[in-house]
Structure 1
Amino acid sequence: MDNITHSLIGAVLGQAGLKRLSGMGMPTLIIAANIPDIDAACFFWLEGQEHLGFRRGITHGPIALLLLPLALTAIMIAYDRWQARKGTRPRERLPVRFVPLYLLALIGTISHPFFDWLNNYGIRLLEPFSSRWFYGDSLFIIDVWMWTGLGLSYWISRRRERARRTDWRRPALFGLAALATYVLMNMAISTIAERMIRTQLLSAGVTPTLVVASPPPLLFWQRDVFWRNDERYGRGKVNLLGDSDVDSIGNSTGMNDALIQAAVGKDSSAAAFLFWARMPFAYRDGGNLVIGDQRFSDELAAGRFSIAIPLTASGPAQRQAGQ
């Protein structure tokens, strides 16, 4: 998910009462909810599409989920002590205690891969023990409905807290309950959409090996659904409030082109892209072999989530224009 969503989740967890466990509780929860994304710095040292094969891996795995909260806790305690020495530590701040603060950092950090798992970009939850990708296929990476619900519950909770009302935690608890309901509902919608498209394909005499639901922005009651088998790929659309349809003919995946394997052996960007790609397809375009991923095949995404390999396979893979 985007970092606004992660931050709101940390903030609402704090307003649900967790921030009272220790001084520095609220900033710790918010920072922890974002800290696995320190792997975004890979853009500075990786070239081409190599970042796709690095992101959402080692910093989202079990070792990082234990060590990152520990490092954050140490930093927050050091900051609190530094403020105390300077005489700038807020008087109203609760005592900062290691064990409760580490627990808050752990909760915030673990929330991050869980919500990342809910979209279809992919996450390697077991890295470095396994490089297997996991996908929830339930939420769009930027969900305005989550922004609205979490933002309102946080705002109402803070207003009540400032007014010294004893029920200030209640809006945040309600917001978390609503969030859980929304997530479960979207998981169910994706499951239904995938089953509907699979049934339609089988009725048309097509046996898919993979069917993936993709939530669109805003319209959570709809799903774009991608399907593929060893030779062909296509897409469908499911609208729980309207009609559904599917292209049962599709297009050739093009993944049998010998140039692809040759390029993977010669170019790290091509290897990283195919390591990340869940539903790859390829086609020849002029002097290049273009490889994309069905999940991000729309025109707006094509420039970022595709790679072009020279047909000679003698040089490194080149990005498409706009990447």
Structure 2
Amino acid sequence: MDNLTHSLVGALLGQMGLKRRSGLAMPTLIIAANVPDIDAGCTVLGMVSLAMRRGVTHGPLAMLLLPLALTGAMIAFDRWQTRRGTRPSDRAPLRPGWLLVLAYIACLSHPLFDWMNSYGIRLLEPFSHRWFYGDALFIVDPWLLAMLSAGVWWSRRRDRAGRADWRTPAWTAFIGIAAYLLMNLGISAHLARYPGFDQRHPPVVIANPVPLMFWRRELLWRTEDVYGSFEVSLFGGEGVRSVYRPIGMNDLRIAQRVSGNPGAKAFLFWSRMPVAELKGDTIVLRDQRFLGLTGGRFAVELNP
């Protein structure tokens, strides 16, 4: 998910009452909810970064070590402010044990929400390179953002007013979000079994989330030779079907040209639904999940 969503998840956890467990609890929750994305710096490497993103910093070793490192950094920051005489007088005492627990809770929320979309996450890295996909939410979900924002804002407003029930809006949002996530997982699983396929071509099907309309899915299908897509709704109806296109990955030139191209190797490691298009003598590798959505961002040219 986007980092605003991750930050609001951390803030919501704080407003559910966890921010009162220790000094610096709220910043710890928000930072921990984002800290697995320290691998974002590798994007300066271009296409090669596809083999690095959502990998080791999202895997079990990172989930063990990153909260420890963050807790140590927060304790060091508090002590540094104390030595300089700049520690806020109204900050609650640090409770290192609780700070570590909060860092673990928020850090673990990150791979959970990243798993919910179709981009993928390598949950077992470095022990396994396997990608996992939830196929339930578009990568930026306005409904999720609205629930998170409302829960945090309403809870903070009550807290500033001194109301004893300030946690209630955050808990209400949390329950609503949990129901929303489960509902979207169910919608994707249901629509992936859509019956309206040409039975001459038994397909592999992915119910890909679309922006805003959580009740709809773009059904991406492919056989051994061809692929296509169309949109369907939970409430019935079907969008225009794309024309059948050849997958093109059986072109013998692909393996030859990929062998000396680190970007292409990284792309194929990342790609879930690779397709190849011919442009003259150039072969363009794309991923069926992102055709037309991101322009040339997820495309590699294999030149002679």
User: By the TM > 0.5 criterion, same fold?
Assistant: yes
Other-structure match for 2:296: 303
| 1:265 shift after superposition | 1.3
Deviation track 1:153-186 (CA, whole Å, cap 9, x = no partner) reads 1011001101111000000000100000111111
- Correspondences of 1:1-323 after superposition (within 5 Å): 1-44=1-44, 46=45, 48-196=46-194, 199-201=195-197, 204-208=199-203, 210-244=204-238, 247=241, 250-298=244-292, 300-310=293-303, 312=304
Question: Secondary structure, in 3 states, of the residue corresponding to 2:92?
Answer: coil
1:19-38 CA distances to partner (integer Å, 9 max, x unpaired)? 11111100000000000000
Unaligned runs of 5+ in 1: 313-323
Q: Which amino acid aligns with 1:18?
A: L
Report the Cα distance in structure 1 between the residues aligned to 2:11 and 2:226, rounded to whole angstroms. 45
Equivalent AA in structure 2 for residue 94 of structure 1: A
What is the CA-CA distance between 1:286 and the residue it aligns to? 2.4
Q: Percent identity?
A: 54
Partners of 2:239 and 2:143 lie apart in 1 by 26
In 2, the alpha carbon distance for the partners of 1:211 and 1:248 equals 14
Amino acid in structure 1 at the alignment position of 2:202: T
Q: In the alignment, residue 153 of structure 2 is paired with which amino acid? A: W
Cα distance in structure 1, aligned partners of 2:84 and 2:216: 55
Q: Could you tell me how far apart the structure 2 residues matched to 1:220 and 1:184 are?
A: 12
1:240-277 superposed Cα distances (whole Å, 9 cap, x missing partner): 23402574962110000111111221111110000000
Q: CA RMSD in A?
A: 1.3
How far the C-alpha of 1:13 sits from its partner, in A, is 0.3
> Are the counterparts in 1 of residues 216 and 231 from structure 2 also a CA contact under 8 Å?
yes
Query: TM-score normalised to the size of structure 1?
Result: 0.91
Equivalenced residue count is 304
Q: CA deviation at 1:87?
A: 1.5
TM-score, length of structure 2 as denominator length: 0.97
Worse overlay, 237-246 or 96-105? 237-246
Provide the rounded CA distance (Å) in 2 between the counterparts of 1:259 and 1:24.
56
Q: Which moved more, 1:17-26 or 1:127-136?
A: 17-26
3-state DSSP of counterpart to 2:31: helix
Q: Are the counterparts in 1 of residues 143 and 212 from structure 2 also a CA contact under 8 Å?
A: yes
**What is the letter of the counterpart of residue 251 of structure 2?**
D
Further displaced range: 101-110 or 235-244: 235-244
Contact 1:200 1:246 in 2 (8 A): no
Cα separation, 1, equivalents of 2:287 and 2:236: 27
- Asked if the contact 1:204/1:248 (under 8 Å) is kept, the reply is no
Conservation of the 8 A alpha-carbon contact between 1:21 and 1:100: yes
Superposed displacement of residue 232, structure 1: 1.1
Contact map agreement 2:258 2:302 (CA 8 A) in 1? no
Extract unaligned runs of 5+ from structure 2: none
Give the conservation status (yes or no) of the 8 Å contact 1:190–1:223.
yes
